[in-house]
Structure 1
């Protein structure tokens, strides 16, 4: 067993999981390769990080017939079994997502050893920790590259801008009609488009070599405090006054980021559409 697993997970997940994985791989000789992915593989884990691990075996069906073998890892509080993850060339790996009663979590995946090459190309953060027959001739160096923000095409950028401004009048309509849930849902959709623009802006400013993490959990690290505080205030939606303020903040932030990004990318920006929507909403709000 490679020392990697112990170096990177000691003190991060309960010690028993390190020992359990080691013993499990030692017992199950059909598992020829194991790899760790995600935050652990790139040394960004903390005490709440999942253990993302994949077993490649000569007998995949044995692990898919029932779930009893998973009891080995501990008493589960809850488990999910999403559908198989498709890899290239028709290969698949099968996930078992487990949260244990002690709070630990293992996202375990099982696949055929025939899928090894496809697995190694699945994402960039893979760190091989177990290779019985040295099947991995050129072990990859784990990086976050698979999760870097990608530069949008002009079509993607234009669609994002259009969708944002398309949604804004619906928010106003819902506020006027006192349709709380309708307003909240449309504000959520507007915010998603804004966060996309902000994310692309961060990517562009960092040469598209930045990973904002799942659900943009590192977004705050790349925003100035003024804009971050404005963004967080758009989540205040407990009454119609707050929803109205959230709408105005979203419009202000979008107008701050989107035109600048268009210039940096040399993309056309629908400036007139934005001005018309903003003016319309401002006028209507003054009349409420």
Structure 2
């Protein structure tokens, strides 16, 4: 596997030798001193070029970076095909056979003034024309957990309870994927919002738990982390039910804390009423013991 230095040297060398590439920045975890940086970390690179079309009309040039395992072009997707006559941004997500990965975005220099509005962490690796709008941004404030307004808090609690009913319905019908989808894809994000708010309060809203909450373990005690791990069910209906009530009670404990700290109203009456309904529904089907 090529080292970080080898990868960076290659990225910079390409930009130096190609006059059409006028600036280079690095975003993502490698530009953020607080992020995890290891051999799995992507190289999130942006080339600011004189004309994006020069780099999208023929894709063969990306093979100069190494032996490509697979490449994806998210801007050119079946539901939103890319207009190759345009100069809109374009990205190559490149996984190399040696384990390295470059997420390479092409931006047209005609739009570089918009970078003044960018507040995400980045390092400026090259700026041939000294564009004033291209400044290094070493801090991650843009990713910090944001405190909710009371309406968002209320709606999140309401949505969590509402979606809990979907899980129970899927279990009672023995519709496994319906129940798992409702739990994993719909219900858990509401729970994670509440857990993030609690984490934000504990840390004065000056932290981020990262994409998909991947850094949560930094902020949870060993006991809290163990409790968190136990809310993920497998494909067994009894386990889904058990986890549903673990999640339900955990969520409303967190909601009570958040409401108390932010001086919000917490509708414990609705929470208890829905819980009792879930107990009765699942007990009638033999799933709550």
Normalised to the residue count of structure 1, the TM-score between the two structures is 0.87
- Cα separation, partners in 2 of 1:36 and 1:120, compared to 1, 3 Å: farther
Q: How do 1:171-186 and structure 2 match up within 5 A?
A: 171-186=167-182
Pick aligned residue for 2:165 from 162, 166, 169 = 169
TM-superposed deviation, 1:81? 0.9
- Cα separation, partners in 2 of 1:137 and 1:281, compared to 1, 3 Å: closer
TM-superposed deviation, 1:138? 7.4
C-alpha distance in structure 2 between counterparts of 1:139 and 1:170, whole Å: 48
C-alpha distance in structure 2 between counterparts of 1:113 and 1:73, whole Å: 23
TM-superposed deviation, 1:14? 4.6
TM-superposed deviation, 1:252? 1.3
The C-alpha deviation readout for 1:221-257, integer Å capped at 9, x for no partner, is: 2123333222222222221111111111111111110
Pick aligned residue for 2:211 from 214, 231, 241 = 214
- 1:31 and 2:26 matched: no
C-alpha distance in structure 1 between counterparts of 2:225 and 2:212, whole Å: 15
C-alpha distance in structure 1 between counterparts of 2:58 and 2:152, whole Å: 43
Corresponding residue of 1:116: 112
SS in 1 for 2:124: strand
Q: Indicate conservation of the 8 Å contact 1:12/1:47, yes or no.
A: no
C-alpha distance in structure 2 between counterparts of 1:18 and 1:80, whole Å: 21
Corresponding residue of 2:82: none
Q: How do 1:90-239 and structure 2 match up within 5 A?
A: 92-136=88-132, 139-188=135-184, 189-239=186-236
Structure 2 unaligned blocks of 5 or more:
77-86
Corresponding residue of 1:4: none
Q: Indicate conservation of the 8 Å contact 1:237/1:246, yes or no.
A: no
C-alpha distance in structure 1 between counterparts of 2:169 and 2:27, whole Å: 46
After the TM superposition, which of the residue ranges 171-180 and 126-135 deviates more from structure 2?
A: 171-180
TM-superposed deviation, 1:125? 0.4
TM-superposed deviation, 1:121? 2.6
TM-superposed deviation, 1:105? 0.2
Q: How many residues matched?
A: 272
- 1:69 and 2:61 matched: yes
C-alpha distance in structure 1 between counterparts of 2:65 and 2:41, whole Å: 17
TM-superposed deviation, 1:15? 4.1
Q: Indicate conservation of the 8 Å contact 1:92/1:115, yes or no.
A: no
The C-alpha deviation readout for 1:30-69, integer Å capped at 9, x for no partner, is: 2111111111112332111000010111222201212111
SS in 2 for 1:82: coil
SS in 2 for 1:130: strand
After the TM superposition, which of the residue ranges 168-177 and 216-225 deviates more from structure 2?
A: 168-177
After the TM superposition, which of the residue ranges 221-230 and 243-252 deviates more from structure 2?
A: 221-230
C-alpha distance in structure 2 between counterparts of 1:141 and 1:53, whole Å: 14
RMSD over equivalenced CA pairs, Å:
2.1
- Cα separation, partners in 2 of 1:286 and 1:216, compared to 1, 3 Å: same
The C-alpha deviation readout for 1:245-272, integer Å capped at 9, x for no partner, is: 1111111111110121012122222221
Structure 1 unaligned blocks of 5 or more:
1-10, 85-90
